[in-house]
Structure 1
Amino acid sequence: MQDIKQIYYNDSGTSFYWRKENDILIDKVQLIFRETGFYFSQYELQQFRSCIEESYKLNNCCEDCELKNNCRKFLLKTPCSQIDLAVSMKELTAVKDLVEGTLFKINLDAYLFGEGMN
């Protein structure tokens, strides 16, 4: 796996930068969730986080349902207007962790290796 630089991973997916020759291409992040890959800019990744938050707000009506964590009835919009995902609440939580963990690590690295270097 010399062609990537991993950013973050969990049980449901991973995120990484592609490498080209000896350079790490940091303008876009490859995000793999389930069997789906997205190639997002940091701005699109932030939009995706907003889509996830919106899905939580829209789908909080299933608190009493026994199947709420496994039922794939929740529609998760993505920054790609042509693509929506059908997810369970469990998967929604997992992709939320994946996106937020990725953004946190990107921001942390930007600080540590940017303005944080005195």
Structure 2
Amino acid sequence: MQPIKQIYYNDSGTSFFWRKENEVLTDKVQLIFRETGFYLSRQELKLFQSCIDESYNQNSNCSDCALKNTCHKFLLKTPCTQIDLAVSMQELKAVKDLVEGTLFKINLDEYLYGEGMN
């Protein structure tokens, strides 16, 4: 049996729940982005989504820039107050997809296998 239950993945990372003794531990999500791992509660994952949205809104105007979305020119705050990530706009879009896809899949599964089974 696999030690993880995958939730979502893209080209930049993956998210999953750990398994322990054949039980899926759903209280926290392991999110791997580039070479960095975060072990976050759902509330922290939602906070990370807010940090990403805020950064995206502040830094999405690259149309006049010669580097066009590929530079490492800004910091992305994380739910871990001591850690910020240096990301390009391309990487920001990738981590945005990873976090949003993870939250969507968790909510969908909870609905399908919870209240939606009525």
Q: When the two structures are superposed, what TM-score results if normalisation uses the length of structure 1?
A: 0.96
Task: Give the percent of matched residue pairs that are identical in Structure 1 and Structure 2.
Answer: 79
Q: Structure 2 CA distance, aligned partners of 1:68 and 1:47? A: 28
Aligned residues: 118
One-letter identity of the residue aligned with 2:70: N
Q: Structure 1 CA distance, aligned partners of 2:40 and 2:46? A: 9
One-letter identity of the residue aligned with 2:22: N
Give the equivalent residue in structure 2 for 1:58.
58
Equivalent residues of 1:6, 1:15 under 8 A apart: yes
Q: Structure 2 CA distance, aligned partners of 1:80 and 1:53? A: 16
Aligned pairs (5 A) from 1:18-97:
18-97=18-97
Give the equivalent residue in structure 2 for 1:2.
2
Deviation at 1:8, TM superposition (A): 0.1
Deviation at 1:74, TM superposition (A): 1.6
Give the equivalent residue in structure 2 for 1:17.
17
One-letter identity of the residue aligned with 1:117: M
> What is the RMSD computed on CA atoms of the aligned residues?
1.0
3-state DSSP class of the match of 1:62? Answer: coil
Alignment partner of 1:104 is 2:104 = yes
3-state DSSP class of the match of 1:72? Answer: coil
3-state DSSP class of the match of 2:7? Answer: strand
Q: Structure 1 CA distance, aligned partners of 2:10 and 2:97? A: 8
Equivalent residues of 1:68, 1:88 under 8 A apart: no
Deviation at 1:68, TM superposition (A): 3.2
Q: Which runs of 5+ in 1 are unaligned?
A: none
Q: When the two structures are superposed, what TM-score results if normalisation uses the length of structure 2?
A: 0.96
Deviation at 1:99, TM superposition (A): 0.2
Q: Structure 2 CA distance, aligned partners of 1:57 and 1:110? A: 30
Q: Structure 1 CA distance, aligned partners of 2:2 and 2:62? A: 44
